Each structure stands twice: as structure tokens, then as C-alpha cells.
Amino acid sequence: MAALPDPSPSAHPYPRRWVALAVLMLPVLLVSIDNTVLSFALPEISAHLTPTGPQLLWINDSYALVLSGLLIPAGSLSDRYGRRTMLLIGSAGFTLVSAAAAFAPSAEWLIAARAGMAVFGALLMPSTLSIIRNIFTDSTERRTAIAIWASGYAAGAALGPITGGILLEHYWWGSIFLIALPIMLPLLILGPWLIPNSKDPNPGAIDPLSIVLIMTTMTPAVYAIKHFAHKGLDLLTASMLILALLCGFIFTRRQLTRTNPMLDVRLFTNKRFTGAALTNLMTVFSLVGFLYFVSQHLQLVSGLSPLQASLVLLPGLALSVIAGLVVVYLVKFVRLWVMICMALGLMVIAFALVMLTAHTGSDTSILIAFALLGTGIGFAETLTNDIIMSAVPPEKAGAASAISETAYESGAVLGIAVLGSILNAAYLAHLVIPAGVSEPDAALARETLGGAVAVADQVGGQAGSALLESAQQAFDAGVLYTAGIGGVLMLLCIVLVTQTLRTAPR
């Protein structure tokens, strides 16, 4: 069977678009699962690879950090060489490097493998959304398709911990990376015949200097946040922030002065486009930060098994999928910006609930909070992604989807870097090491909650019990701060939406 020809953006809707959408959901699910599946494996990774606190954060961050820096150039590549072509290359590479991550013998190896996965993941995500933009030319059908895409993304983010819980219950921690094979294999086999290829007839130039500038903007910024959480404001923190700001400024100037830029930064003069992208960033920031602390709390404070802990998040998973689909119908009757504000309001309530019940350690309150959060994410992500993709012509879909994905991944990077670092700093400030614990064991306990639990089991007796109780209380003290920050961010996001999205059409 021959591969499908390139479609024209002005042609009639692609006849197999819904079947193609089903295949496109496979990489969406995998990449979004990969964003959060690691959260539930952190305790076992801590026990087997014994990473330091910063290494534990980098195991999470290396993937999203590299991905966020490469999404924009990857979007340009897909516009130039074909979205299906980049999708299939990314799928094959992602699967192979995931297998390498599964058998990592050290924390350093795992960090490097996660970064390698990000290189190929960057080719995947802009391609999926830009293909959808090109094959769904009817606005109502496109919004429904984007709703399914966003629901898949939200479902994958919540399904990650559940998948991880099931695998960790029966296999070793590396098994969470082997799920790429059964998910990607159907895409690699069916993709060439079910998914049409498409290109931009006048793509932006592939500019190596701009790629370097993006990476040297994101990497120093995240490093500065991490370093600040551990060491405070010092010369290194200030230097990294200045470098990030300088490179970001040079990148922007370079795009404005080039006749055919890699990224058309003038898109951000459209306040609806900018407001939707920033809303994406902040909602994902809060979601990933929430999952980072909740996954550890359920296992290391509440004492649930990985599978039991993952089931606490199941209602939120279901509601995120349902909300993403239902909102397509609701916006026929409720103005779009009002619907997004309502979604963000649900997320504010979720964080407030965590703050009010953090000291009780109630798993029921976490279940309810994540259900509210999942509903809000399902509503908001569908609508903001539709706004972003509707703001550009089909031939520029790769660049627009890259910006949307960059906002998503930047939110994931910053959610772990900022909220994770604040959580670790608060944990360290509140932890009390009892007498009878050796200095090497005390140092391990100070690194992470997982390290403290391992030391408490090893020490045993009254000292072990005292250490475990102190570590759990110190961790939940940090949760109070991070939940508060998440709630405040969502309130600020509501203000942003009222200022930028009021004129968005239904």
C-alpha cells in the first residue's frame, strides 16, 4: 500500500481524519504519560540509585528542560521536512532511548537517557497538533479534535502515576520506560498509511544560533531556580539569571530582524495568542507541581503501595478526559473566557483544599482535590490550545503548535524546578535528625523524603521512628507552601484571562 500524498491546506477535509486522529493519540498519550509516570517511581529510584536531592530533581527536569528548548526548532523542522516524517523519526528514536533508560545503572545514566528521550520527544509533539490543524479544516470539528487531543494529554498526565503504580507493583522501576514499545509500535506500522504528510511552502530557516540561544535561555534559568532553593541568592544564581535574560533578549531580537525567522515572535503581539500560551504554562506548572508532591505523600507519608496510591488519582483522570470533551458543548452557551476562568477557579479550590488538610494527611482530601484539578485542566487545556491553533493559518501550524508545546513543557520544567525546590528547601528546614543517627545517614535523610524513609528503616528503634515522623511532618510542611503558591498562581491566571481572552470568539 502506497503512502498517502501531501494534502493541500485548501483541499476538502481529509476523509480519514478521525482514524488518523486515533493513531495520533498514541504519541500524545506516551509523551504525557512520560511527563508524570516518573513521579511514582521516585521512591524506588531513590532506594536503588541513591541520587542526591538535586539529582532527583534533574531526573525529572532533564527531560522537560531539553524538550522545552528544542520544541520550537523541532516545529520548524516539521514545517520544512514534513510533519509525518518528523513524527515517525521521533517515535522510533524515543522508543529506543526509553529502553536505554529502563536499564540505567546510575542516576547520571538516567539523567542522560531522559535528556536523550527529550530530543526525540521534541520531534513528536509539534507534529501531532500541527497535523490535526491541517486535516481538520472545519472549526467545530477542529475544536472537537483538539478537545480529544487535550483530553489525551491530560489523561496521559494522570494515567502516568496509575500506569507507574501497576508496573511498580509487579516489576522493577525501569519497567515504566518500556511502555514506549507497545504504544509506539502501532504508530510506526500504521502511521505511513493513515497519517497524511504536510509542509509549510515557505518554512522558517533552521538557525543553529537561535537553537543555541533557546537552550542557553532555558537551562540557566532553571539552574538558577534550583540553586536558589538550595543556596539562596548568591553570585552564581544572579549570573545564571542574567545569562538567561540576555540570551532570551538576543533570541527575540534575532527573530525580529531576520526576513524568514525560525520563530515568528510577532505572534505574541496577538494578546489572545499570548494569553492562551501563558495560561497553558501556568496551569501545567501547577499540575506537575501537584503531582510531584502528592505522589510522594501518598507512598511515603500515607504508606500506600504504588498501585493503591495511583488509584487515589483515578477519579481525577476520568474527570479530566470527560471535562475536555464536554467543554466543546458548553462553550456554545458560555463565553469562552468565562469557561476558562471557571476552570481555573476549580484549580484554586483544589489547592486551597490541600492547604487546609495538609496537616491531617487525608487521602480523601487529595482524591477530591485532584478530581477538581483534573476537571479544571480538562476544561482549560482544550480551550487554550484551540485559541492558539486558530490564531495561525494551517501552513504555520508547526510553529504555533511548537509554541503551545513549549508553554506546556516550560510549565512542566518550572513546576518541578520551582515547586520541587521549594518543597525540598522546606523539608530540609523543618527536618529534625534525632540522636543516634550517624552523620552519613543524616546526610542521606536530609536529601529527600525517600532517603529519610530508607534510613529510618535501617536505623530502626526509637531513633528510626522519630526520624520517620519528623521527615513526614517536614515534607507536609513543604506541601503547605507549594499548594499555596499553586493557588495564588491560578488566581493570577484568572486575572490574565480576563485581560487577554475577553474578545475570543465562541
pLDDT, average across residues 157-163: 70
- Whether residue 497 is predicted with pLDDT greater than 80 in this model: the reply is yes
Least confident of 19-23, 76-80, 109-113, 170-174: 76-80
Q: What is the pLDDT of residue 158?
A: 63
- The CA distance from 276 to 250, in Å, is 24
Question: What are the tens digits of pLDDT across the range 305-347?
Answer: 777 877 888 888 788 888 888 888 888 888 889 999 999 999 9
The per-residue DSSP string of 270-309 comes to SHHHHHHHHHHHHHHHHHHHHHHHHHHIIIIIS---HHHH
- Whether residue 85 is predicted with pLDDT greater than 60 in this model: the reply is yes
Going by pLDDT thresholds of 50, 70 and 90, the confidence category of residue 39 is low
Least confident of 4-18, 29-43, 413-427: 4-18
- The CA distance from 487 to 494, in Å, is 11
Q: What is the pTM of this model?
A: 0.75
User: Would you give the DSSP letter of residue 431?
Assistant: -
CB 448 within 8 A of CB 424: yes
Mean pLDDT over each residue of the chain, to the nearest integer? 81
Least confident of 149-163, 210-224, 359-373: 149-163
Q: Looking at per-residue confidence, does 484 or 405 come out higher?
A: 484
- The CA distance from 491 to 263, in Å, is 30
**Closest Cα partner for 298 from 288, 285, 311, 287?**
311
Going by pLDDT thresholds of 50, 70 and 90, the confidence category of residue 163 is confident
Cβ contacts of 371 within 8 Å, gap of 6 or more: 315, 316, 319
CB atoms within 10 A of CB 250: 15
The per-residue DSSP string of 313-378 comes to THHHHHHHHHHHHHHHHHTTTS-HHHHHHHHHHHHHHHHHHHHHHTTTT-HHHHHHHHHHHHHHHH
- The CA distance from 221 to 14, in Å, is 42
Question: What are the tens digits of pLDDT across the range 219-239?
Answer: 787 777 767 766 777 898 899
Q: What is the pLDDT of residue 170?
A: 81
**Closest Cα partner for 419 from 485, 347, 472?**
485
The residue assigned the cell 498517502 is: 4
- The CA distance from 480 to 6, in Å, is 52
Kindly tell me the sign of the dihedral angle through the C-alpha atoms of 351, 353, 359, 360.
negative
Question: What are the tens digits of pLDDT across the range 345-387?
Answer: 999 999 999 888 876 667 888 899 999 998 998 888 888 888 8
Greatest C-alpha distance within the chain: 75
What would the grid cell of residue 281 be? 504554562
- Whether residue 7 is predicted with pLDDT greater than 80 in this model: the reply is no
**HEC readout, 180-247:** HHHHHHHHHHHHHHHCCCCCCCCCCCCCHHHHHHHHHHHHHHHHHHHHHHHHCCCHHHHHHHHHHHHH
Assign residue 136 a region (left: φ > 0; alpha: ψ between -120 and 50; beta: otherwise).
Answer: beta
Question: What are the tens digits of pLDDT across the range 194-206?
Answer: 888 877 776 666 7
Cβ contacts of 259 within 8 Å, gap of 6 or more: none
Going by pLDDT thresholds of 50, 70 and 90, the confidence category of residue 505 is low
Cα-to-chain-centroid distance, residue 27: 14
The angle formed by the CA atoms of residues 437, 438 and 440, to the nearest 5 degrees, is 125
CB atoms within 10 A of CB 406: 27
pLDDT, average across residues 54-77: 76
Q: Which residues of 465-502 are buried (b: 16+ CB within 10 A; e: fewer)?
A: ebbbebbbbbbbbbbebbbbbbbebbeebbebbeebbe
CB 270 within 8 A of CB 264: no
